[in-house]
Chain A
């Protein structure tokens, strides 16, 4: 595939707030999962916690929390990229959505299970069942914003963050659409209500370079080749030792364009209980800029991207 892709906007909802407060917290070496009081955050409480009241949230009588988060994050990403709602309305098939969902709408499922139990297993709410699908966040976000291009929801292994970017790149490079909103809207809910619940939504606006230039978008970050080859991926990996700041991540992320990475010494743990045989992927850190970005002196920042274990960090951004 050829053709550069630009990252022109970011929308993010985290227990620490929006992207500015999240990145500020990262810079201050604050661990979101520890400090945001996730244990007290009820499932679906993120938009309420952050006091978000978007008219887009009024599109349906019931919305799964992850759908709410996706709608808001996508709205923020659009605004950040300088894409007006009427631009989507004029060209609805030019915009696509590609989200990751490894666990899907767990809060809705749990609610339905409770209801089913209360009804002695006889009747299931059609409203809740309609919101069961793993694609509910992407579909509802499309509905809220009138986006009619590709609408895909995917799940994968611990390299899901990279797969997302690669699939987004495929959609753009093959001309399926000129703009893709990609990222995740996930909850760590796992059917055990007593465990802490954390919700995150992070959506990037990726555009074909010529499209971004054509509409006069501000300078974005160039997304170059994403290399996924990792021959040992299918094999369990040894647990990595604890990190110390600054220290290179022992196993460099398989992104050819990124030179090196370092952590903030914030191991966010293993909230899903996957076990110690895997790398502690849920960690805060930052990745140094690519060669290209260095030349342009754009510096580096970190972006959170979902992975099998919740949130991992990838990326470069902010010109």
Chain B
């Protein structure tokens, strides 16, 4: 009971027991992780919606496989957001060794992050172009989505969607962690899911947040981001439930804050980001000098990267130039409400494998933002505690701390 996630407080430790993901790099977590470590990219021209009038046609889009289509047909899923969520949740539960029937005997919660409801209206966007004055039902009610997922996994207790823009996945995991640590939940399925559509790309084209080229975070040439889609799911469980299967890491700390600065732009001072990272460290019971790795928000927009650097420099001081950091967004795109969850998956696997994936598209980091950016190839490092950051529209900030557990239970990957 006394560890990074509950030291001195007799609080239960929260363990990551299972992982699931769907991303532009593959249909499962193994493909995602292999792709990240190998420096592969999932960015390609969009094919699921029209490319006209977009600032950039590249994205981390998922091309459904035959198996994924068959899954959608079998369960009669008519939205990509539900499909991605269920694929990732199935994988995560299987990975954790839980069956749905067994879960029914436990106190189980479900907390998922996502961003915009237009995710649910793929067909409607095209109809809007074609149907003239006809009204189109926009299917933007999150209650339907959470109902569908809770019913599918027989979650009879709390089932919640967190919608804090691009911090949603991180915030969802943080809430889930606290539900186990403080409220008696035994297992919580958590993470994030999001999809691409033409409306989002038109919107970000208008906002100039889309790069005309590629995501190049923390470089002098950074000029915007590209978006992606997918889902990242973590099965968090109370330590006392730990089964024979190995657990990945402890979900040790989280933080929340709001910039209250601008609807779409970050506070350039990074004050809110400093606060949220500091809260997460305090929650985990560790100091800044204990952090061995940061999975950056790293969206590649000039404002976001500048703010994130300022915040890391403020919190970590001179050590900011030493801690190895990375961004996986160049490889899978900015997956919005699922970004923090997929980055949490990568952070947890970094702790397990003691490897940090490279940041793609970076020849030389910006000397004005002197961070120890892992680029070129994956780096082997001794990692005990890692931080994952997310910053969203509306000034919503989130951070998570994961800590290594049971180092000897995994064979050399």
Contact = CB atoms under 8 A, between A and B. Distances in A.
Contact of A157 (B116, B146, B199, B202): B146
Contact of A133 (B116, B138, B179): B116
A170 interface: yes
B212 interface: no
Contacts of B150: 157, 234
Contacts, number: 213
Nearest to B135: A192
Contacts of A103: 117, 140-142
A154 B258 contact: no
A122 interface: yes
A152 B162 contact: yes
Interface string A128-155: 0111111110111011011111111111
A126 B394 contact: no
A216 B115 CA distance: 39
A130 B158 CA distance: 30
Contacts of A193: 135
Contacts of A153: 162-164
A116 B202 contact: yes
A30 B312 CA distance: 56
Contacts of A315: none
Nearest to A63: B263
B393 interface: yes
A164 to B, nearest CB: 10
Nearest to A93: B275
Contacts of A163: 158, 160
Interface residues of A, number: 72
A170 B257 contact: no
A228 B160 contact: no
Given A150-B256, A234-B155, A167 B160 contact: yes
A319 to B, nearest CB: 28
A125 B199 CA distance: 11
B263 A101 contact: no
Nearest to A119: B53
B157 A140 contact: no
A133 B115 contact: yes
A192 B132 CA distance: 14
Interface in A151-171: 151-158, 160, 163, 166-167, 170-171
Interface of B: 50, 52-53, 107, 115-118, 128-129, 132, 135-138, 140-143, 146-147, 150-151, 154-165, 171, 175, 178-179, 182-183, 199, 202-208, 256-264, 271-272, 275, 279, 392-396
5 contacts: A103-B140, A151-B396, A154-B161, A170-B179, A174-B182
Given A102-B143, A139-B258, 12 more contacts: A96-B256, A103-B141, A126-B207, A139-B393, A143-B260, A148-B271, A152-B164, A152-B171, A153-B163, A155-B161, A229-B156, A233-B157
